[in-house]
Copies of this chain bind each other. A is one copy, B any other.
């Protein structure tokens, strides 16, 4: 899929001060390395921002002078080829920390899918925070390890799985990503469009659609709203995702 869309000029809107105490994403993020009595340190180092659906807030190749912690919504992480081909390297939900870079520049871009709110830290301030809260570095390492494992799993998917296996894997992954989802555990909500899924799975929009249709025909899933899918045969799906058929 090639990228042609133009996006809104307003990408980052200040949205009030940071309130870690009441932040729903804190327990799921690296911020939980900071004890409650030290939360003021955290609040002082960050600013809250709001990103409109579709808008980018990290640009691949731009100087990596800040970091983000998603507090609500979902973002897509993207890498581009010069001719416009796009790879979505991941989806970032609430609690995800973004921007750790070994180099001076971001290795990937990030764009809001639905309405996203996030905390932004400057590079310098994060450094200071790490010096004050050594545990933070340990959490960042754990977070990076976890992301690395996820990326390697995705390498296996992209390198060796069929379209059916990829789509089944994706749905299960999204199901697991959702924190105690409402409406029954079998419901998977998909804020991203088919194009995002296609670019995440190394396929095309049409193949995503066809494969979902096949899963529906087989009775593995039910597609209610295109953005809401129910997994009806979890065991069958797990077998498909692993290529055991």
Contact = CB atoms under 8 A, between A and B. Distances in A.
A103 B149 contact: yes
Given A144-B144, A158-B155, A159-B202, A149 B107 contact: yes
* Size range of the chain A interface in the assembly: 35 or more
A82 interface: yes
A198 to B, nearest CB: 10
Which of A138, A142, A154, A200 gathers most chain B CB within 10 Å? A154
Given A102-B149, A151-B152, A82 B244 contact: yes
Contacts of A160: 81, 85-87, 199, 202
A172 interface: no
Given A107-B153, A140-B141, A243 B82 contact: yes
A224 interface: no
Nearest to A159: B202
B147 A148 contact: yes
Nearest to A134: B134
A242 interface: yes
B152 A79 contact: yes
A41 interface: no
A156 interface: yes
A133 interface: no
Interface in A63-114: 79, 81-83, 85-87, 89, 100-103, 107-108
Given A86-B160, A89-B152, 16 more contacts: A81-B161, A81-B243, A82-B242, A82-B243, A83-B243, A87-B160, A89-B155, A100-B148, A101-B149, A137-B138, A147-B148, A148-B151, A155-B155, A158-B158, A158-B202, A160-B202
Interface of A: 79, 81-83, 85-87, 89, 100-103, 107-108, 134, 137-138, 140-142, 144-149, 151-156, 158-161, 199-202, 242-244
